[in-house]
Chain A
Amino acid sequence: MSVETLVEQMKSGLDAPICLTWELTYACNLECVHCLSSSGRRDPRELTTDQCLAVLDELRELQVFYINIGGGEPMVRRDFFEIIEHAVSNGIGVKFSTNGAFIDAANARRLAAMDYLDIQISLDGVDAATNDPVRGEGSWRTAITAMDNLRDAGFGQFKISVVVTRHNVDQLDGFKALADSYGAQLRVTRLRPAGRGADTWHELHPTNAQQRQIYEWLLRHGENVLTGDSFFHLNALGESLPGLNMCGAGRVVNLIDPIGDVYACPFVIHDDFKAGNVLEEGGFTRVWRESDLFLSLREPQSAGACASCGAFDACQGGCMAAKFFTGLPLDGPDPECVGGDGEKLLSSVAVSLAPRPSQDHSKPARTRIPVKAGGGN
């Protein structure tokens, strides 16, 4: 069977996801300006420990080999270790994303003692001056401390996960050197206009010239750098980057959010892309296999306005979530289309008309004028 046919088969769906992301909580100690899930405050409907363990038992039955755990900050949950230990002991490998705030020396040793566990430390600048405006004051130092602790605990190869923005794109070599210095693996992913990122994308996303810069850098380093296959829209520039050249939403990937809602991918937390909830009858399995949304995403998708473009086979029209949250039609160019077609369309979309994320767990705005306590003095 050729690779082409395999991709076609994957587009029509698998019996279970390959790459399942599970955001364990909306609670977070940080307030990154591009947070995909608009995290900050815990949702009172958050799945209980028992509900989480039941979901894991279901994923074991489905033979989901590994899951990507995120948040919010997943280590905020008091049952974090119980959940990941249950996963691993049931044959479900865990990769979790963290800002590192809870990886002190003791936790680093506990993590280092576990099998089938991968850790991604999020970092968006090689220095605090680049990182902290995006991820928050002190967050660079926090991440570095966590990395030091993992190294000292003998964790082995962890990952440094970078969201590429127009401010850190020139630091790709620096990130690689930093990862190498820890014996870590570098992961770079695409900035999506999802969650709070919908508000900051226009200022943060790489320029068209920088897109080419990312593409050429990935061509040089592709085999040693992880990307989550997130840059396939750049394939329109020429030779294909390594990885599956397709949108996996509802086909090979999906998201379970902290309250058990199942979305097509981690970047589309919006009612239009919500397929069901793990607590409903039939559980996650039924949502994955039978929900109307996922079945429709597995139908052949129209190339729409891109049908006449010679690059469509290479870029597949780009990322569904990026189009959706910038107000572009789903059957047209990606907002970062390297041919410039998305940019042209964007200028005709009033920002206020683009869809808003359906969930917002951001902490209350700090810009409010503090109310002074009333009284005498």
Chain B
Amino acid sequence: MPATLESACSLHPQVAIRPEPFGALAYHYGNRRLVFLRHPDVVRVIESLAGHASLRDALVANGIEERRWPSFVRAIDSLTASEIINVS
């Protein structure tokens, strides 16, 4: 299912995130995929997904400007392909 602003998103329980100067590394222990999260803002949003009903809520809560939302939707959507993030 493609991610949208209304999607309820969550970090896969088998994923660990390690902060790095460029953002973070996300590693999925289940499928062994390593993914680069290339902006600290993306990392903040992802880490807060569990506390919000939708991606939109998470973006608002993290103070992400609305003009940047489409790029966040794309980033989250690409992370569903590697199962780093689950969408429902």
Contacts and interface: CB of A to CB of B under 8 A. Distances in A.
A350 interface: no
B38 A1 contact: yes
A63 interface: yes
Contacts of A15: 18-21
| Interface hub of B19, B22, B39 (most chain A Cβ within 10 A) | B22
Contacts, number: 39
A93 B22 contact: no
Contact of B29 (A1, A6, A116): A116
B20 A65 contact: no
A118 interface: yes
A5 B27 CA distance: 21
A18 B16 contact: no
A6 B18 contact: no
Interface in A38-88: 63, 65-66
Interface string B17-35: 0111111010101001010
A247 to B, nearest CB: 18
Interface in A1-20: 1, 5-6, 9-10, 12, 14-16, 18
Given A15-B21, A65-B25, A91 B32 contact: no
Contacts of B23: 1
A1 B22 contact: yes
A18 B25 contact: yes
B34 A65 contact: yes
A1 B39 contact: yes
| Interface hub of B18, B23, B39 (most chain A Cβ within 10 A) | B18
Interface string A163-202: 0000000000000000000000000000000000000000
Interface residues of A, number: 18
A4 to B, nearest CB: 11
| Interface hub of A9, A93, A118 (most chain B Cβ within 10 A) | A9
Nearest to A9: B22
B36 interface: yes
| Interface hub of A1, A5, A6, A91 (most chain B Cβ within 10 A) | A1
Contacts of A18: 25, 34
Contacts of A116: 29
Contact of A66 (B19, B27, B36): B27
Interface of B: 16, 18-23, 25, 27, 29, 32, 34, 36, 38-39
Given A5-B22, A15-B21, 18 more contacts: A1-B22, A1-B38, A1-B39, A9-B21, A9-B22, A10-B22, A14-B20, A14-B21, A15-B19, A15-B20, A18-B25, A18-B34, A65-B16, A65-B18, A65-B25, A66-B27, A91-B16, A116-B29
Interface of A: 1, 5-6, 9-10, 12, 14-16, 18, 63, 65-66, 91, 93, 115-116, 118
